[in-house]
């Protein structure tokens, strides 16, 4: 049996994201990384179906920051209600509208993940989860909108923060909803040989 890897010996992952939630998840795993957000015009991919959009956004972000010899990890989350994408709300009014639409209904969260290995091969996958919202009262919607938490999040809510009180249930991986399906990322990094040099 091989000894467990020493994570401190691993090459740093380049995280092609400005998301503090994704960075926090990598820190929890103990993986070395540095954030290098990709600046993309995401509207050019808005015509795609939600799952394809999540995959394509992750792929483009990964390719935008990759340099030879580096491991790059990119992810992008798309929230879809009956096939219609709910992005990051532009303002409090749009955040309120999103929550009113989600109230008492289920929707799907897609998180696309792309990994570029040092020689430049791109590997991508899409994880999905179904989220069920409670039926929200007007004051709950107002309370959440006034918190400002949903303004930088796809769908206008954060399941890991105050938004946890909005949810009735979830089918699938919670971390897919949070923005990084960590078990799938770990598994894929293992398959691609990322941990090999740390044994």
Report, as residue numbers or ranges, the catalytic residues.
76
| Phi and psi, residue 159, nearest 5° | -65, -20
Nearest to 154 by CA among 78, 81, 101: 78
Answer for the pair 135, 101: CB distance below 8 angstroms, yes or no: no
Radius of gyration (Cα) for the chain, nearest Å? 18
Neighbours of 117 (CB within 10 A): 17
CB neighbours of 52 closer than 8 A, spacing ≥ 6?
none
DSSP state of 100: H
Separation between Cα atoms, residue 77 and residue 127, nearest integer Å: 9
Separation between Cα atoms, residue 83 and residue 187, nearest integer Å: 29
């Amino acid at each position: 049996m091989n000894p467990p890897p020493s994570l401190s010996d691993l090459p740093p992952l380049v995280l092609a994201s400005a998301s503090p939630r994704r960075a926090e998840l990598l820190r929890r795993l103990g993986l070395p990384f540095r954030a290098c957000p990709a600046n993309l015009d995401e509207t050019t991919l808005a015509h795609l179906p939600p799952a394809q959009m999540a995959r394509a956004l992750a792929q483009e972000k990964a390719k935008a920051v990759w340099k030879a010899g580096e491991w790059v990890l990119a992810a992008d989350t798309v929230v879809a209600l009956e096939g219609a994408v709910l992005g990051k709300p532009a303002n409090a009014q749009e955040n309120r509208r999103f929550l009113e639409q989600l109230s008492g209904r289920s929707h799907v969260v897609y998180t696309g993940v792309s990994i570029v290995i040092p020689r430049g091969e791109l590997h991508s996958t899409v994880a999905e989860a179904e989220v069920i919202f409670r039926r929200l009262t007007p004051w709950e919607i107002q309370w959440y909108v006034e918190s400002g938490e949903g303004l930088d999040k796809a769908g206008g809510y954060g399941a890991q923060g105050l938004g946890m009180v909005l949810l009735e249930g979830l089918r699938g991986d919670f971390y897919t909803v949070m923005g990084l399906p960590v078990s799938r990322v770990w598994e894929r990094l293992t398959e691609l040989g990322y941990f090999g040099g740390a044994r």
